[in-house]
Amino acid sequence: MSLVALAVHAALLADGGDLNCYRRRMFTAWHEEPGRLSPADIDGFGRAHGLGDVDRPAAFAVLAAGQATFVQLDAVPAADRGRRPLLERVRQVTVTQPALREWQRVTPAECS
């Protein structure tokens, strides 16, 4: 479902929708609601925030042509906390280091 969420994000960006509200809704649904999300759920979140018809093949083509990055955060960032600098730094690392496919931060709580 991550690719569907990214595809809807790309389509919403192209349509000029409310990306901030879409991201918050996706984060809440992904992390705080029981059950798995369906593509229809994700499409609905996009439509609720300004997306017209979802042309998933076209949105996937936009992802394939660009450099998409999936970032998993531990909490919804406060509206006044600048996400853009963080996301731009992550994007720069992933674009300049194409061999880097995935990384994870290990915290002491995850170690036993």
25-37 pLDDT, tens digit per residue, is 988 898 887 888 9
Domain boundaries, the chain: 2-105
DSSP line for 75-87? SPPPTTS-HHHHH
Contacts of 17 (CB under 8 A, 6+ apart): 46, 49, 50, 51
Claim: this prediction has a pTM higher than 0.75 = no
Contacts of 10 (CB under 8 A, 6+ apart): 59, 62, 63, 66, 68
109 DSSP assignment: G
Residue identified by tokens 């290990």 is 106
Distance CA 28, CA 101 (A): 26
Q: What pLDDT tens digit does each residue of the chain (112 aa) get?
A: 788 888 898 889 888 999 889 988 988 898 887 888 999 999 999 999 999 888 888 888 877 777 666 666 676 666 655 556 766 777 777 777 767 666 666 555 554 4
* Encoded tokens for 84: 């853009």
